[in-house]
């Protein structure tokens, strides 16, 4: 753990909401009697759950560039790039470890040993060669990557991507494009002179995704290019709301901020709590449990993790790779 530093309240709260929703919905994923909007869309369509991963990518993009530039100023370019590589390689490795453990305890793997951490790790690695280039170059690279992915997806990858969690290794091409777009928008936000254009950029991405939907349906299962455009744009708009409310956030309850300051730690900790539900409780008390029981069980997990998040926050500590 490292001592907490000066934070941007809007980013902490936005990230906190995202990771909190991710943990809540991860719990519900293994249950049957759940409202469809709280599950991933099986193919074409967009649910609340489908927004969570793109929002987290956007949160990464908000800090990716500024964090690298600060580290370069402290330790130099080579050391900063090495740290970046090691960080995302470690996230990729953690993802494989969690998938392997999940396979042992019976958590579905979606056809490949692949999940959200592997997708994030791969996207973070792909972004490294681009991160010191101008934001518009990164945005253009992301769009070109999406175009190439579109042709590969509908030429030969569609069945493979749909069968895998988060699109598998092939789908990481689209998630990488998403992160590149998010870093470009993150730099736009970091530039106070041009920050006001962030919501308009978000609206442009949503509109582009909607216009292109007849060519490539919005689908998280496919990690389709239009899904990337629409959800990245929506993330920018939602985050802009947090930015506009930042003065209120600083003085308000700190629960979301506490979650947002230790996202990776809390995300990993949840797996230690989800395991017993998969292994010990069985169908009657978990997979086939009624909605009211699922809500109580989920609330118990979230309450415990929230208490841990607040305790860490009171001590001013964060944990990261």
Q: What is the DSSP string of 205-238?
A: HHHHHHHHTTTS--BTTTT-HHHHHHHHHHHHHH
Q: Which of 192, 177, 193, 187 lies closest to 236, judged by CA? A: 187
Strands (E), the chain: 2-3, 317-318
- Indicate the number of domains in the chain: 1
CA angle 124, 41, 125 (to 5 degrees): 5
Residue 318 bridge partners (DSSP): 2
Dihedral sign for Cα 78, 170, 32, 35, please. positive
Residues 6+ apart with CB under 8 A from 37: 47, 48, 49
pTM above 0.95, yes or no: no
Asked whether 305 and 260 are in contact (CB, 8 A), the reply is: no
Q: How far apart are CA 220 and CA 231, in angstroms?
A: 10
Per-residue pLDDT of 249-296, as tens digits, reads: 888 778 999 999 999 899 888 877 776 666 666 677 777 888 888 899
Per-residue pLDDT of 16-44, as tens digits, reads: 999 999 999 988 887 888 888 889 999 99
Instruction: State the residue range of the domain holding 98.
Output: 2-318
Is the per-residue pLDDT at 3 higher than 80? no
In order, the DSSP letters of 253-286 are --HHHHHHHSHHHHHHHHHHHHHHIIIIIHIIII
Per-residue pLDDT of 51-95, as tens digits, reads: 999 999 999 999 999 999 999 999 999 999 999 999 999 999 988
| Mean pLDDT of the 207-220 span | 96
Is the per-residue pLDDT at 105 higher than 80? no
Q: Which of 88, 31, 1, 12 lies closest to 281, judged by CA? A: 31
Is the per-residue pLDDT at 108 higher than 80? no
Q: Which of 181, 195, 313 lies closest to 243, judged by CA? A: 195
Q: Which of 129-133, 156-160, 204-208, 261-265 has the lowest mean pLDDT?
A: 261-265
Strands (E), 116-222: none
């Amino acid at each position: 753990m490292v001592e907490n530093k000066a934070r941007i309240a809007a980013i902490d709260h936005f990230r906190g909401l995202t990771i909190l929703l991710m943990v809540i919905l991860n719990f519900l994923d293994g249950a049957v009697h759940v409202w469809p909007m709280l599950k991933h869309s099986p193919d074409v369509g967009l649910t609340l759950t489908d927004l969570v991963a793109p929002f987290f990518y956007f949160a990464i993009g908000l800090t990716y560039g500024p964090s690298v530039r600060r580290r370069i100023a402290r330790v130099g370019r080579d050391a900063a790039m090495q740290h970046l590589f090691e960080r995302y390689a470690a996230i990729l490795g953690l993802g494989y470890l969690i998938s392997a453990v999940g396979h042992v305890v019976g958590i579905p793997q979606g056809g490949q040993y692949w999940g959200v951490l592997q997708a994030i790790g791969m996207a973070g690695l792909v972004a490294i060669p681009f991160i010191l280039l101008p934001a518009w170059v990164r945005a253009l690279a992301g769009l070109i990557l999406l175009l190439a992915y579109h042709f590969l997806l509908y030429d030969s990858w569609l069945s493979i991507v749909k069968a895998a969690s988060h699109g598998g290794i092939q789908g990481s091409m689209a998630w990488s494009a998403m992160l590149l777009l998010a870093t470009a928008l993150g730099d736009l936000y970091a530039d106070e002179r041009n920050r006001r254009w962030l919501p308009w950029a978000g609206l442009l991405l949503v509109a582009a995704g909607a216009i292109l939907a007849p060519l490539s349906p919005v689908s998280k299962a496919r990690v389709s290019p239009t899904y990337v455009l629409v959800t990245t744009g929506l993330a920018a708009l939602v985050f802009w709301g947090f930015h506009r409310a930042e003065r209120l956030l600083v003085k308000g309850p700190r629960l979301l901020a506490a979650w947002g300051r230790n996202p990776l730690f809390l995300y990993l900790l949840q797996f230690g709590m989800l395991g017993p539900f998969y292994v010990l409780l069985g169908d009657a008390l978990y997979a086939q449990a009624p909605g009211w029981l699922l809500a109580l069980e989920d609330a118990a997990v979230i309450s415990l993790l929230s208490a841990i998040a607040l305790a860490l926050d009171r001590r001013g500590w964060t944990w990261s790779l």
